[in-house]
Amino acid sequence: MAGTIAVSIWRGRADGSYQTFAVPQRESQTVLDVVTWVQRHADPTLSYRFACRVGMCGSCAMTVNGRPRWTCRTHISKVVEDGKLEIGPLANLPVIKDLACDMQAFFEKWQKAKGAFTPSKSRSDPIERISPATAPRQAADAGIECINCAVCFSACDTVRWNDEYLGPAALNRAWTLVNDVRDAGNRDRLSAVAANGGCHACHSHQSCQEHCPKALNPTASIAGLKRRTMQAYIRGEL
């Protein structure tokens, strides 16, 4: 494969602009390969994040031709349009520099949604057997493979309009814990996700599910939280 691609990359902070580079085209080249080529061969001051390069760490997400994606698993052959590629930082997060966003709000919302496991047992208790065939475990397993990439957060219109909205990833995480029978934090967690900016702010338009690179369905998790918080409310638990 020969030739070059015209790659426009965001430079600077929110008031920055796109800068175009001619990048040699290679076989099986990913968007992350393109960004790395620019940093190594054209401009060493280009800032971006990555770690694993194999779709596990969630750190490499960027906006590619207008759509949020994991760049290490996105081949340019799937996304180049008319020999051009536009690569920007994720939307809905402040830009630190170039392609690197400030992820603080994203992770603080995980904390706000009580996305940390609350143990119900101590280390001296016997290890509990959890059958993978039970309905709660299957509901938890359906959302467990999240890699915290923030692609869904960047794709969500409600996040864009509503600063308080916890967002699809944090709520998906909360749903996995609501269904984890070993967890003891559900009263606080259900209160947190039922509050302003919680699950009831979601409009169910499924942009998160459409963009998630791990094929998760945060919309379904959020629908589960809506049902569960309503049940808790009717029972007087909230």
Q: Which positions touch ligand SF4 (CB under 6 A)? A: 146-152, 156, 158, 168-169, 172, 202-208, 212, 214, 216, 218-219, 222
What are the CA-CA distances from residue 21 to residues 33, 34, 39, 42, 219 (Å)?
14, 10, 11, 8, 38
The listed partner (ligand SF4, ligand FES, none) that binds 60, CB under 5 to 8 Å by sort, is: ligand FES
The nearer residue to ligand SF4, 29 or 92, going by C-beta atoms, is: 92
Residues in the chain: 238
Question: Judged by CB, which is closer to ligand FES: 54, or 234?
Answer: 54
If one asks whether residue 150 binds ligand FES (CB under 6 A), the answer comes out as no
* 35 belongs to the binding site for ligand FES (CB under 6 A): no
Rounded least distance, CB 147 to ligand SF4, Å: 5
Cβ-based nearer residue to ligand SF4, 39 or 162:
162
Binding mask 51-80 for ligand FES (x = CB under 6 A): xxx-xxxxxx---------x-x--------
Q: Which of ligand SF4, ligand FES, none lies near 139, with the C-beta cut-off 5 to 8 A by kind?
A: none
Task: Rule CB under 6 A: say whether 144 interacts with ligand FES.
Answer: no
Q: How far is the C-alpha of 177 from the C-alpha of 114, rounded, in Å? A: 9
Report the distance separating Cα 124 and Cα 105, nearest Å: 36
Distance CA(150)–CA(197), nearest Å, equals: 17
Per DSSP, 155 falls in state H
Burial 27-49 (b: 16+ CB within 10 A, else e): eebbbbbbbbbbbeeeeeebebb
User: Pairing between strand 4-11 and 84-88?
Assistant: parallel
In this chain, which stretch among 16-24, 50-58, 105-113, 151-159 interacts with ligand FES, using CB under 6 A?
50-58
